[in-house]
Amino acid sequence: MEKKILKMGLPKGSLQDATLKYLAKAGFKFSVNTRAYFPSTDDEELEGILIRAQEIAKYVEDGVFDVGFTGKDWILETDSDVVEVADLLYAKQSPRPVKWVLAVPTESAVQKPEDLKGKRIATEVVNLTKKYLKEKGVDAHVEFSWGATEVKAPLLVDAIVEVTETGSSLRANGLRIVDTILVSTTRFIANKTSWKDPWKREKIENIVTLLNGAIRAEGKVGLKMNVAKVDLEKLVKMLPAMKNPTISPLYDSEWMAVEIIVDERTVRELIPKLKKSGARDIIEYPLNKVIP
């Protein structure tokens, strides 16, 4: 019987570490040699190849990969016809979308996109930028940038279109944002033919379930504690649980066990309050996945 394999395009570069981290938390561990593009994995049904996120959507469309991780921006930029299986809210630095923005030097007279008529703009997303300018009715020259786009204005170009999470790099290079062209998140995409294959589709859907669970668990922890019945109602009212807490009786009928999931950043304030409200034997534990 032929061994079944799901070929996966993994983003090399800025999304690599975050993607591999969440895959590992989901249960799919890839070991990457710094000089290799074919990471090993502990799942014999998966085969991963590291490649630039900019190229993954086209390779998925063409069937070179069954699935892959890339940004919504690169799906649109390459006009790729793929199945967007999941919208995964994570980026290079934080669990937030990235933005492609139109930016100019701080001292530039440009205040709105229309002020760039006849001007020169550098960007890596030429197609997205041209489409944006057309919608704005702006006739400007758009050129492809091979990198270090922030340093090209104002000596080489009048404006740039660049990706940012926080805007700090733009500010550090003396640039200000004029407008946001696109808000983009990481997408898990599939080849249309692969998506129709029953075995591959089930494998893909299982990966998505576990991945979403890993992302949902980010920044959250579990808390277990015991509380006397007489203090239970008071304690439950102050719990910031995702849903109602899990409550179960202990061997001692006068005591109850309580379990909740909370944001990790709240724990340092919450645990002392729980203690004052009657909680005892409080245990904090990490979470790998939260599956609703």
How far is 273 from 282, CA to CA, in rounded Å? 12
pLDDT of residue 241: 62
Start-to-end C-alpha separation, the chain: 36
**DSSP code of residue 31:** E
Q: Return residue ranges of the chain for CATH 3.40.190.10.
A: 6-95+186-217, 98-183
pLDDT of residue 292: 83
Task: List, in order, residues 6 or more apart from 107 with CB less than 8 Å away.
Answer: none
User: CATH for 220-286, among 3.90.1150.10, 3.10.180.10, 3.30.70.120, 3.40.720.10?
Assistant: 3.30.70.120
Q: Tell me if 117 sits within 8 A of 239, measured CB to CB.
A: no
- Let me know if domain 98-183 sits in CATH 1.10.10.10: no
pLDDT of residue 277: 92
Cα radius of gyration rounded to whole Å, the chain: 24
Q: Counting beta carbons within 10 angstroms of the beta carbon of residue 2, is it exposed (0 to 12), middle (13 to 18) or buried (19 or more)?
A: exposed
- Which pair of tokens denotes residue 48? 């991963």
How far is 141 from 284, CA to CA, in rounded Å? 57
The stretches of the chain forming alpha helices (DSSP H) are 16-26, 53-61, 72-77, 126-136, 168-172, 192-196, 198-217, 229-237, 267-276
pTM listed for this prediction:
0.87
CATH T-level topology, domain 6-95+186-217: D-Maltodextrin-Binding Protein; domain 2 (3.40.190)
Q: Return residue ranges of the chain for CATH 3.30.70.120.
A: 220-286
Strands 83-88 and 120-123 turn out to be unpaired
Query: Tokens 């203690």 identify what position?
Result: 275
Q: Is the peptide bond before 39 cis (omega within 30 degrees of 0)?
A: no
From first to last of the 292 residues of the chain, give the pLDDT tens digit: 578 999 999 999 888 999 999 999 999 999 887 677 889 998 999 999 999 999 999 999 999 999 999 999 999 999 999 999 999 988 655 667 889 999 999 999 999 999 999 999 999 999 999 999 999 999 999 999 988 898 899 999 999 999 998 888 899 889 999 999 999 999 999 999 999 999 999 999 999 999 999 999 998 999 999 999 999 999 988 887 656 789 999 999 999 999 999 999 999 999 999 999 999 999 999 999 998 8
